[in-house]
A = this chain, B = another copy of it.
Amino acid sequence: MTAHGDDVRDGEAKAASTAESRSSESEGVSIPEPQDRARSIPEAAVARLAVYLRVLSGLHEREVHTVSSEELAVAAGVNSAKLRKDLSYIGSYGTRGVGYEVAVLIGQIERTLGLTQQNRVAVIGIGNLGHALANYGGFPSRGFPVAALFDLDPDLMGVPVGGIPVDHVDDIPRVCAERDVTIGAIATPAKGAQDVCDRLVKAGVRCILNFAPVVLQVPEEVEVRKVDLAVEMQILSFHVARRSQETPDSTDSEHAATGAPQSENRDVNTGISPVDGMVVRP
């Protein structure tokens, strides 16, 4: 996430936004400058919209037609004020005194997230993770069909995984162009990641989901999001360490068993909940 991510935006390469805000040279208290237009939606809010969408889909399936911000917030693991503010970024689709119509909200969030048009995905690196991704049969609740698989291993060429035959990474440009791939998921080891990334970019792919432990260098028009297992583990480690030195030791666990919904789970980018992970085993 995140140069937009959650912590979002890096400092560099953000010439665009910087430039536009340099309109008035005046000193003192600067007036907000309203010309900022509507396209803003904070990155963090975008991530949460995806979560709300999942919850709403669940409600829709259960024939629930209306929800209040409070109900939806609890289900999504955020507080209601934040949820309302997030929804306000995409428009006013609620009814005061009543709540939101599930179907309407689903439609509006899907539209905002661009889910009305499909994004074909290419998975590169057909190992364990690649398999998991390929078998995911259209990522979230459909909308992201896996259209191409690539690897280096000669033994895998042509072998169908999740119904799609594996191609050689050398064919990335051709195959991606042919199948109109818009998102590339790099699930290779660190070593080949940058090379694969370059090929994807050359093929016109402008959105990449990177699972490899490297900092990909890409032209600025390419959006890269990274999922880093090690970082997650180390963050948890930090909390383990902090906890054990901070607490004089009052707990020995055994009191907090089953249903005690208190603290929130922090998602990598939402600070909260989920939407659709990876199907692994029924």
Contact = CB atoms under 8 A, between A and B. Distances in A.
A198 interface: yes
A29 interface: no
A188 B5 CA distance: 24
A44 to B, nearest CB: 4
Given A1-B269, A4-B271, A268-B3, A201 B256 contact: yes
A266 to B, nearest CB: 3
Interface residues on A, range: 35 or more
A239 interface: yes
A179 interface: no
B207 A236 contact: yes
Nearest to A46: B238
Contacts of A140: 229-230, 233-234
B1 A235 contact: yes
B238 A112 contact: yes
Interface stretch (A60-68, A94-102, A209-217): A209-217
A18 interface: no
A2 to B, nearest CB: 3
